[in-house]
Structure 1
Amino acid sequence: MNGNLTEIDNHENDLNGNINHKISKSKNHAGQVLESIIRKKGHNISELARHMKISRCTIYNWFELELISYDILVKIGSYINYDFSSDFPDVFSGNNNVKFEPNKFTEPENVDYWIKKYIILLEKYNECLLSKNYNQEYINQ
């Protein structure tokens, strides 16, 4: 084994509290890698915690873990628009069928999208009501 690499056989906890056993070889443990990526991308830990509906302490505890679960990496990755599969290939290797989908919309774009979709739906509904009302009048004559 290389002098810089350490082999880790430890457990990891996912978001549901399930324990998974994995063996990982890395210079830094997964929590350190996760923290450095989040900070390099300029994200606020408090905002990330609010988004994930967890406490900041939980995130800081994850930074201390030697292994991070797939669920946690995907959830954080989708929020910060980052694909962790290259940083944690051993974690992602068993999940080849699941693709990373970054957050496609920023908050204002997301709101505009749903407003437009709602207006289109209302217009279709109004057309349907008018059509039904017209058919009722035609039948009653």
Structure 2
Amino acid sequence: MRPVIALACSTALLGACAAPATPLPSPPGPIADSGNDCAVIAAVAKEHYRFNATDNVPPPLWLDDEGSGWAPRCDWSRFGLDFPATHDPDRPHRPGDRIQWVSFKQPRYDGRGALIETGILHGPLAGMGYECRVHSGFAGWTVGECKNTWIS
């Protein structure tokens, strides 16, 4: 009986001598741009458009900064993607040029993940735009839903 009492007393004393617990940090607010832009774009490219690096190669990529200077540097191979060309909206169109691109605007983050505007143009009057909700989770970013925003 005596060892049990001694153990209980020593445990109580150690607890009294221990440093006060450090408070846990408060949960973060809305997710901020912390390098997730490339992963969000890749999720939409792979899940919504079904692009990949082998049998469904995407059209030229247009990261539409809308004049803000947003220009993420992404290692697309890390996401299993390959954008072999880049669309330059300021380059004058030349006769014979194909008019194709897939565009992504800078994602907007909130407490539910991210919203991203995207669009694809297959030809001069053949394209569609979307706003996609992308969720962050254990498996990375995944597309929840994409709503049409324009059709040409």
| Alignment TM-score, normalising by the size of structure 2 | 0.26
Q: Which has the higher strand share?
A: 2
The structure richer in helix per residue is: 1
Give the greater-gyration-radius structure (CA): 2
